[in-house]
Amino acid sequence: MMDDSHQPASSNAIGKRTGLDEARRRRTEYGSKWGRCVGVTVLVGLLSWGTYDCQAGSDTSARSAIFAEQHVDGTALDVHRKGMALPPGQRFEYLAQWVLPGPAHSTLRMVYGFTPTHPAPPVAFDPVHYEELAGRRRVQHGGRLVSPTFDLIDVADELGRLDEIQTRVEAWEVPDQSPNAVSRSAMLALIALAGNDHAEAAKWLDAMLAVSESTTESGMAPTGAEVLVFDRCLGIDSLREAVASGLHRYQDWVRTKPYNTPHRLYVFGMLGRLQADHRESIGEPATPIAEASTGLWQPVSRTLAASRGPGTTPVRWDIAPGLARKVIGHDDDFLYWGIPLRGNYQVECDVTDFGWRECHLLVAGTWVAPVHTLSHYDSGTPRAEFPRREFSPPLTRPRYWIHYRTVVEDGTATTYFNGRAIHTRTVHPDAPPWLAIRTRSNNEGAVSNLRIIGDPEIPQTLRLSADPDLSGWVPYYDEQVGEAQNEWLHTTSLSPEGEIVGRWTAREFEELTTDPHRLVGVQESLLQYHRPMLEDGTIEYEFYYRPESDQVHPALDRLVFLLAPEGVRIHWLTDGPYDRTDLSSANVFDEPEHRRGDGPLPLERDDWNRLQLQLSGDVVTLVLNEEVIYERTLEAGNQRNFGLFHYADLSQARVRNVQWTGDWPRELPSIAEQQLAVPEEQFLLTNREHLVDVFEHDFAREGLPPGRFSIVRGLPSVDLRSGPEGVTAMRQGTGGYRNATISPQMKVHGDFDVIAAYDRFESSPPEKGLCMVALTAILDNSSVDEYFISRRDIRRPGGGREQLLHCAIVRRPPEGEQRSHFVSVPMEERSGRMWLARRGDRMYYLTAEGDSPNFRLHGEQPIASDPLGFQGLRLLNQIYREGGITSVVWKQLEIRAEKLEGRAVEPYDRLLTSLNRRRDELQNRFTFDFSAQDPHDGTLYLWNNDSPWKADDGGWTIINPGADTWTSAGVAARTFVQGDFDLEVEFDSVDFAEPRPGGRSSIYLQIEFPNEERTQVSNLFTTGTAGRTEVISQVRVPVGEGKYDYRQFGGFDLAKASALRMVRTGNTLTCLITSPDFDEEIVVGELEVPSLPIHPRNIRVMVHTSGAGRESRVRLKALDLRGETLGEVVEPPVRDPLDPPRIEREKSLLDSVLDLFR
């Protein structure tokens, strides 16, 4: 029911055209103040100009020739409406005359327009379709492409007259390679499609594309003919590829300003539909959320008069497990999570990067978005965008995905891009608590693996008017919000608790404000809360009421409840200057069947009133000052945005204490229950019951005990230091590779999890160099398979830097090294955790950034079942090339495995006690005291050393002059040993010569087994060309054709040494070293060896110097050998130790990686 009791005098019927004209006249009067375009008509669809010979002397043909059909611009919607109102026969005649070339005009009019988006029910353009939506909520309707061309073809098909219009189009003669040829081919394709002749449609589609490509310049818009053909052919499988080739030519045009016109966004939507179809064809299907059971994620757009009036297409999001992707855009488009969050929590996900696929998160009222410059970010609220901010250094360029994390803790929100903190802000206690995924209208953004974790507070009631910035409120019309001079603002000047005020523009409409009983005016003004009422709930507020100056009314989307003294009346929101319907801005409808209560409304004049808007299912109920006053069912197309409405020309609006109590969940769902989360590590966590052996080490609390850890590279207290924060590894770039590496002294068998936590990774790599922190796992097999995951900082030539995560495998079979680099993605974090996990024959690589509990799976690779050998697990900090410095703080190490063995999982003193006890049990003993015995007495076998022995020297010095070929000088025991044994050599006065480049100077304790492979094991103290001294345990293994490889199974940097020791117990050989820098002996490595006897001359102590013109000296103190069986053999069946026990520095995994950049 309509009522004109409050209609302006110049209008006869509210909601009729006369009211609309009057409203537009008045808008024009103040249009200069708003700075807005009034009475906007949107042109969507371009014309094809023809050369049809019009009737001579025809006024119509003359106008057509002179004005080139410009009078047709923007009329598609009106012609559509007029034609659809006619019976089919009359419709055909009307449309045929209007569309097809003929006496009245020389063109084939292939134009189109759009119906208003989410139109009010009284003026819905598709009433039959709209009625079919009953029972559904927030249906996306309107914004539909319409065209008289489509209408003509459809009615011709209905009447069986397709042949008739086909004949007329075929008879239309047009020049080849002209725009008219495009229109002719397009029309014939559409006619064929209507007749289900897809082959004929394909022929004309190809013809249209051929001409279009030759006549359309780059950057131009598609013609109306092309858009109409693309639209109808897009859903035909056999035609989709051709449509794709045509549409993709207009991608550049879609991305040019102005971005958000309905025409551009519709073409953008067709491109999105194409991509969605393609993804489905390759096995990546997703379901439009409107058709899916979406759970807690719901699509929402910032809907404005400027977007809905012209008919911008409604938004479409597609969803699949762990992934959401926007396909069609409307304005600023969101995907809202259904639970408000306050307190402490984290949101983490991957978002698409740049190239018109930008996507980001709205958290605690603010969104933060990386920018393609890599050194800027944008930010804003649901309503506004802040000035762009710069940061330095730039991010590493993403590779499709950006890892996005926002941490809200103790009132502060910090946002990270790929692990780097970019934006920090204070969160207002009443900031909007909603989480949403956001993209701009013309971006096809996507988000994957979104997880919400922590201990958030989930409020039952939200205070919507307490935020002084009103950051969660959006004006529907072209109004401003927030500042004192704006149309809507928050102020405490009238009420200490603060009010939302809508300004009154009465001074410009004085003739309209003389009547204190006026209910409606001309200038609609609406402030909406950005997040709709997606669930049941109640929004209540207080409003000040004085009919001549203070009126405000609740609204849900376009449905406005006018609080008239006699009862609630309905106003349907128009789109103001963008409106293209016949609905007046002063429309009022009565629905007496929905009114509740007797008599007038209980309004308190000149006082604060309290109103509640209750939503339950599809029923909305209004309660005014504790009395129910109205109840009605919402239409399916109502988008359920709550708003505050007033006529700005009639009154001001004053509102306070706006509160929303919603029926949203009160608990945060687990990761497994979160629809967009992919708990990638869950299958590992649920498959670890068999990992019964556990090793956990807190470096901050326990430091770096030598009984549990080996320092593989670096000097204690210099390169590796224990402190209250953990173990700090630091290396300076002095040339080549410089490592600070530690390893737990253990072997790892079967399946395992290894998780290393680090912090404060600092890096300044030299040019063409790198710094890195890594976790590596090395198998105890013939190819020494090495798996690693690392965080790297690389400086490229010219100074550019890349922050990367890198995963790789290096294998070393006899035929040569094999490298596999399978993950290299941007990673900016300076702290986090790295996780290597073996399950069966697969190795999994995972990381977690910062303090996030969420692990991300980066890849998996096949792996053998061999155990990780002694020192097979390594925590590495490395710098490559000269210059720069790197450091990292190791925090924790957790190892779980089917079996762990070694000193790290046993008390170290127990291990030493066990070895020493076994030594004491070995009754057979051979000793030689070099301070008291002359080695030249024949007890020992000597070679290449003629230095004399003196009783008062305190020992005997071995001197080895260097040579350019491998040489050594030393002694060998003439003793035979079988079974368990304990062998030790003591020495002092080590004077190593600086070796030639790439060489070493060393003292060896060595044994050799009489097997076919002549297995040779050495424990040596050595120095390289850089002056770094270290201890190494290595084994010689054959690699074929009489060649050998020397493989390290233990070692670390060590400044000083005074004894080398080797102990065989069963088949286990343990290498140890004594240093004055440590109170106890240190285990260097362990190795499984044969139980064969050791023959005479195969127990050796020797000194080696690399390079001519230099010599090394080591003074031996004593040689002690104990064994189960000892003896002498007169004729030893072995050769002299002339084979060079070459020490080849094992090519590290980092060496292999860096080979890529040499």
Per-residue pLDDT reduced to its tens digit, 789-799: 999 999 999 88
Which pLDDT band, with edges at 50, 70 and 90, does 493 fall under? Answer: confident
pLDDT digits (tens, 9 = 90+) for 651-680: 999 999 999 999 999 999 999 999 999 988
Which pLDDT band, with edges at 50, 70 and 90, does 711 fall under? Answer: confident
Gap between the Cα atoms of 645 and 651, Å rounded: 11
Lowest mean pLDDT segment, chosen from 107-111, 789-793, 886-890, 1078-1082: 1078-1082
Which pLDDT band, with edges at 50, 70 and 90, does 998 fall under? Answer: confident
Q: Could you tell me where the beta strands, DSSP code E, fall in 816-955?
A: 818-826, 832-839, 842-849, 856-862, 868-901, 924-929, 940-943
For residue 1061, list its beta bridge partners.
984, 1072
Nearest CA-CA partner of 448 in 325, 334, 542: 325
CA atoms within 13 A on the CB side of 958: 31
pLDDT digits (tens, 9 = 90+) for 320-333: 999 999 999 999 99
Mean pLDDT, the chain, rounded, equals 88
Note the Cα 48 to chain centre separation in Å: 45
CA atoms within 13 A on the CB side of 518: 25
How buried is residue 484: exposed, middle or buried, by Cβ count under 10 Å (0-12/13-18/19+)?
A: exposed
Angle separating helix axes 148-159 and 76-84, nearest 10 degrees: 30
CATH topology of domain 925-1150: Jelly Rolls (2.60.120)
- Under 8 Å CB-to-CB from 664, ≥6 apart: which residues? 338, 339, 340, 458, 535, 537
pLDDT digits (tens, 9 = 90+) for 37-52: 333 333 334 333 333 3
pLDDT digits (tens, 9 = 90+) for 717-760: 789 999 999 999 999 999 999 999 999 989 999 999 999 999 99
What is the DSSP annotation of 980-993? EEEEEEEEEEEEPP
- Under 8 Å CB-to-CB from 983, ≥6 apart: which residues? 1005, 1007, 1061, 1062, 1063, 1099, 1120, 1121, 1122
pLDDT digits (tens, 9 = 90+) for 548-572: 999 999 999 999 999 999 999 999 9
Nearest CA-CA partner of 1050 in 1094, 1020, 1081: 1020
pLDDT at 317: 95
pLDDT at 58: 45
Gap between the Cα atoms of 524 and 646, Å rounded: 6
pLDDT digits (tens, 9 = 90+) for 589-623: 999 999 999 889 999 999 999 999 999 999 999 99
pLDDT at 1139: 46
pLDDT at 131: 59
- The one-character DSSP state at 314 is P
The gap between the terminal CA atoms of the chain, to the nearest Å, is 82
SS3 assignment, position 559: strand
pLDDT digits (tens, 9 = 90+) for 906-941: 877 788 888 999 999 999 999 999 999 999 999 999
Which pLDDT band, with edges at 50, 70 and 90, does 72 fall under? Answer: low
Nearest CA-CA partner of 806 in 1156, 1109, 1114: 1156
What is the DSSP annotation of 571-635? EE---GGG--SS--TT--B--GGGB-SSSS----TTEEEEEEEEEETTEEEEEETTEEEEEEEPP
Residue 510 in this model has a pLDDT that exceeds 60: no
pLDDT digits (tens, 9 = 90+) for 365-399: 999 999 999 999 999 999 999 999 999 999 999 99
Residue 1001 in this model has a pLDDT that exceeds 90: yes
Q: Is the peptide bond before 516 cis (omega within 30 degrees of 0)?
A: no
**Polymer length in residues for the chain:** 1158
pTM of the complete model: 0.81
Is residue 261 within a helix (H) or strand (E), and if so which, with residue range?
none
Q: Where are the domains of the chain?
A: 59-254, 288-339+341-458, 470-662, 682-798+829-843+862-906, 925-1150
pLDDT digits (tens, 9 = 90+) for 402-439: 999 999 999 999 999 999 999 999 999 999 999 999 99
- As a whole number, mean pLDDT of residues 235-252 equals 93
Lowest mean pLDDT segment, chosen from 277-286, 337-346, 916-925: 277-286
pLDDT digits (tens, 9 = 90+) for 637-646: 999 999 999 9
What is the DSSP annotation of 1038-1063? EEETTEEEEEEEEEEE-S--SEEEEE
Q: How would you label 970-984 residue by residue, b for 16+ Cβ within 10 Å and e otherwise?
A: bbbbbbbbbebbbbb
Residue 707: C-alpha distances to residues 281, 704, 868, 910, 1097 (Å): 58, 9, 19, 10, 33
Tokens of 71: 């009078």
CATH topology of domain 682-798+829-843+862-906: Jelly Rolls (2.60.120)
pLDDT at 516: 64
More confident residue, 1075 or 18: 1075
SS3 assignment, position 121: helix
- As a whole number, mean pLDDT of residues 692-714 equals 90
What is the DSSP annotation of 317-370? EEEETTEEEEEE--SSEEEEESS--EEEEEEEEEEE-SSS---EEEETTEEEEE
Nearest CA-CA partner of 876 in 764, 771, 954: 771
Tokens of 713: 């590279």
Residue 842 has a CB neighbour count (10 Å cut-off) of: 12
Q: Are 1118 and 983 in contact (CB under 8 A)?
A: no
Which pLDDT band, with edges at 50, 70 and 90, does 204 fall under? Answer: very high
CATH topology of domain 288-339+341-458: Jelly Rolls (2.60.120)
- As a whole number, mean pLDDT of residues 168-192 equals 94
CATH topology of domain 470-662: Jelly Rolls (2.60.120)
Gap between the Cα atoms of 403 and 984, Å rounded: 55
Gap between the Cα atoms of 865 and 607, Å rounded: 81
Q: Do domains 288-339+341-458 and 470-662 have the same CATH topology?
A: yes
Q: What percent of the chain is predicted at pLDDT more than 70?
A: 89
Residue 289 in this model has a pLDDT that exceeds 90: no
Region for residue 318 given its phi and psi (left: phi exceeds 0; alpha: psi -120 to 50; beta: otherwise): beta
pLDDT at 372: 96
Residue 172 has a CB neighbour count (10 Å cut-off) of: 19
Residue 166 phi/psi, 5-degree rounding, is: -65, -40
Q: Are 746 and 903 in contact (CB under 8 A)?
A: yes
Q: Are 970 and 945 in contact (CB under 8 A)?
A: yes
Q: Are 740 and 714 in contact (CB under 8 A)?
A: yes
Is residue 25 within a helix (H) or strand (E), and if so which, with residue range?
helix 17-34
Gap between the Cα atoms of 687 and 752, Å rounded: 10
